[in-house]
Structure formats: structure tokens, C-alpha cells
């Protein structure tokens, strides 16, 4: 059991399949898992899994995670500005597709995000969002989570 790290989930947009993988892993290795969202989630009863409901509003869940995260905690999010902020605090970040955001790649991701925002605000449609989460994505996430837990939990 580890009391030194916590897994934080930016849960407002976390797919149910990823939530289920996270809950099973947290219960198995007895690591604290905190889902932060502005709406209630159905979670399994466990002393290791908890839901923190924050008020609705722009970046409220993100801000809470950024304030609470510690070095070597894991944050599950696809929110690039949140990822950059928690990486600066020494946390690890993976997306629901198992992609790691790191100190080496986060600035490039921020620049691309800002570029896409600029295109959208200029009425240029850069294309749709990511494809639906598939079996490969779920497996990549589970593998990335297992690697983190083996190293830090």
C-alpha cells in the first residue's frame, strides 16, 4: 500500500471504460484514487476510491487538482494546460488513450493547442475532435497506468 502518491482524475470528460480501469487498479494496489468533477459519478465502494464534486464553472475541477497535486502523483487528463501546470509541480500525466505528457513534450502540445484555438477563433475549422476510444486506446491506457503503479505505488 502506498500513502505517498495519489491518482487524480479530471473526471468531467473521463470515459466510463477508463474510470472502470482506474477503479480496478486502485483497489488492486490500494492506491488513493480521486475523481474530481462538477457532477456526481457512480463509483465502486472502496476506501481507496473517492469522488470530489466541485462547483460547476470554467476550470474549477482543473484548479482543484492543480492545487492538491503532489510530486509523483498521477493526473489522468487530456487537458493540456492542466497537464502543463501539474508537470511543473513534478506530477506525472497520462491521457485516457495512455499517452504520457512529459516535461519534454508538454510545451509543444501547448503550442499546438494554442495554434488550433487561434484557427478556430479565426473561423478556420481545423477538423473534428479525436476519434472514439477504441480497444487499443483502452489497452494503451491500462498499460501506461500499470507502468506508473509499478514504479510509484
Domains of the chain plus CATH, in order, are: 7-152 (3.40.50)
Summarize pLDDT for 111-150 with one digit per residue, the tens: 666 666 666 677 766 566 677 899 999 999 999 999 999 9
Coil, strand or helix: which one is 70?
A: coil
Q: Looking at residue 138, what is its pLDDT? A: 97
Query: Grid coordinates in use for 37?
Result: 468533477
Q: Looking at residue 1, what is its pLDDT? A: 39
β-sheet bridge partners, residue 10 = 36
Query: Grid coordinates in use for 97?
Result: 488513450
Instruction: For the chain, list residues with pLDDT below 50.
Output: 1-2
Q: Looking at residue 2, what is its pLDDT? A: 44
Q: Looking at residue 114, what is its pLDDT? A: 65
Query: Grid coordinates in use for 59?
Result: 476550470
Q: Looking at residue 115, what is its pLDDT? A: 62
Element holding 92 (H helix, E strand)? strand 92-94
Amino acid at each position: 500500500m502506498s500513502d505517498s502518491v495519489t491518482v487524480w482524475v479530471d473526471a468531467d470528460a473521463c470515459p466510463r471504460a477508463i474510470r472502470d480501469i482506474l477503479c480496478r487498479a486502485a483497489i488492486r494496489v490500494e492506491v488513493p484514487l480521486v475523481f474530481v468533477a462538477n457532477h456526481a459519478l457512480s463509483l465502486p465502494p472502496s476506501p481507496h476510491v473517492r469522488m470530489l464534486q466541485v462547483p460547476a464553472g470554467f476550470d474549477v475541477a482543473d484548479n482543484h487538482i492543480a492545487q492538491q497535486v503532489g510530486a509523483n502523483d498521477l493526473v489522468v487528463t487530456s487537458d493540456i494546460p492542466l497537464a502543463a501546470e501539474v508537470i511543473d509541480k513534478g506530477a506525472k500525466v497520462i491521457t485516457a488513450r495512455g499517452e504520457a505528457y512529459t516535461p519534454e513534450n508538454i510545451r509543444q502540445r501547448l503550442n499546438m493547442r494554442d495554434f488550433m484555438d487561434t484557427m478556430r477563433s479565426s473561423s478556420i475549422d481545423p477538423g473534428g475532435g479525436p476519434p472514439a476510444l477504441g480497444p487499443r486506446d483502452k489497452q494503451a491506457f491500462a498499460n501506461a497506468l500499470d507502468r506508473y503503479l509499478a514504479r510509484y505505488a
